[in-house]
Amino acid sequence: MITHFSWKWNEKRWEAVRKRGEIRWVLFRGVLGYGGTLFLFNLLFDIADHKQLWPSTAFGAVFWIIAGAFFGDWTWNSSERRFLRDRARRAVANDR
């Protein structure tokens, strides 16, 4: 049984992601990865419930695109803060 989830911060990988840019991160990880996936799940549930698809689909597409953009921006900023914090801590430790 797993009692502890360990996620190791990979600084070198984040450096590579940073080079590709924030817009790419937000678009692929946020809008498509998060928003697109949840939009598809929402659409599948609407189809299963036999709801009228047009208003729900249009609203869902707009909502999940915006939610995905916010999610992508939030994850970028939190990862960037962590990267900068860890780099500053390492610089201080190297100065000692």
CA distance 96 to 1: 41
Domain boundaries, the chain: 21-91
Residue 90's pLDDT band (boundaries 50, 70, 90)? confident
More confident of the two residues 63 and 11: 63
Residue 91's pLDDT band (boundaries 50, 70, 90)? confident
CA distance 40 to 26: 18
What are the tens digits of pLDDT across the range 29-77? Answer: 999 999 999 999 999 988 888 878 888 889 999 999 999 999 999 999 9
pLDDT above 70: residue 3? no
**Residue type at position 10:** N
Question: What mean pLDDT is reported for the chain?
Answer: 87
